Amino acid sequence: MTAVFDPVVRRYFRGKKVLVTGGSSGIGEALALAMIALDAEVAVVAHRPEKLGRAVTEAKARVFVCDLSDAAQTARLAEQMLAEFGTPDVLVNNAGFATYRPFEQIPADEMEALLSVNLLAALRLTRALLPGFIARRSGAIVNMASIAGRLPLTPNMAYTAAKHGMVAWSECLSYELARFGIQVNVICPGRVETAFFDHETFRTRAERPETRYTVPLERVVAGTLAAIARGRVVTYIPWTLALFAWAKSAFPFIVGPFYRRLVLGRVETLYQSQNR
């Protein structure tokens, strides 16, 4: 896999200590494996270690077990990390999940878990590890958001709200930490076919035309590593999503009605499948 990476990426990650949350599958697992192949020392955080891919364990990544939706567990994770692994050079806040429900149907505990895992977990862990970054005057904090962090997508509004918050927080953090030599990267990929979509609300929803457009996992990994190595604050994968997000903001009277019809269609399809 390293053959696709240019020398800038190879040099950047060689010998780096990297922590990846949500490292048991999908983007997190693929990033961890790529960084190990690039001679980085990698640790992953997993809520359910039994779901860790064999490739990660065989590659000898360090594994920390934590439910990042739990503030107390996250605090203990940070203490254990600092004692056993040290302050990472690169922190990748990748853990996340989504469901596919309209706001009026989402259970309160599910809504809180979505906001906690997709946003608050990254804030908590970053805040706990940040003193080490600042003392060292270097490092990278990488936040895996989504195109849903730039465009309002629903019927999964809690996930979208969390990712909007992550994008805004990342940009603010990039300004605050620049004086300490710490870079912040936020990644906004499109739809990637991973275990992310295993939740029953995705499996049972009616098919929509836009779900056919997916981004290969390898492309997300390569784009993320390049963004980190080159210090890009915001990265869209693919880059055409940046163009669409810009057009929606720059030409709201042209793009807005089209986008509104798209999202209204998604909502209507869901309710029709429920016979409501």
Which tokens go with 42? 């990698």
Angle between the N-to-C axes of helices 252-273 and 240-250, in degrees from 0 to 180, rounded to the nearest 10: 110
Give the DSSP per-residue string, the chain: -GGGS-HHHHHHHTT-EEEEESTTSHHHHHHHHHHHHTT-EEEEEES-GGG--HHHHHTT-EEEE--TT-HHHHHHHHHHHHHHT-S-SEEEE-------B-GGGS-HHHHHHHHIIIIIHHHHHHHHHHHHHHHHT--EEEEE--GGGTS---SBHHHHHHHHHHHHHHHHHHHHHGGGT-EEEEEEE----SGGGGSHHHHTSPP-GGGG----HHHHHHHHHHHHHHT-SEEEESTHHHHHHHHHHH-HHHHHHHHHHHHHHHHHHHHHHTT-
Residue 78 in contact with residue 58, Cβ under 8 Å?
A: no
Listing from the earlier edge strand, what are the strands of the sheet with 17-21? 62-65, 41-46, 17-21, 90-93, 140-144, 183-189, 234-237
- Measured in degrees and rounded to the nearest 5, phi and psi for residue 93 equal -85, 90
Instruction: Return the active site residues.
Output: 159
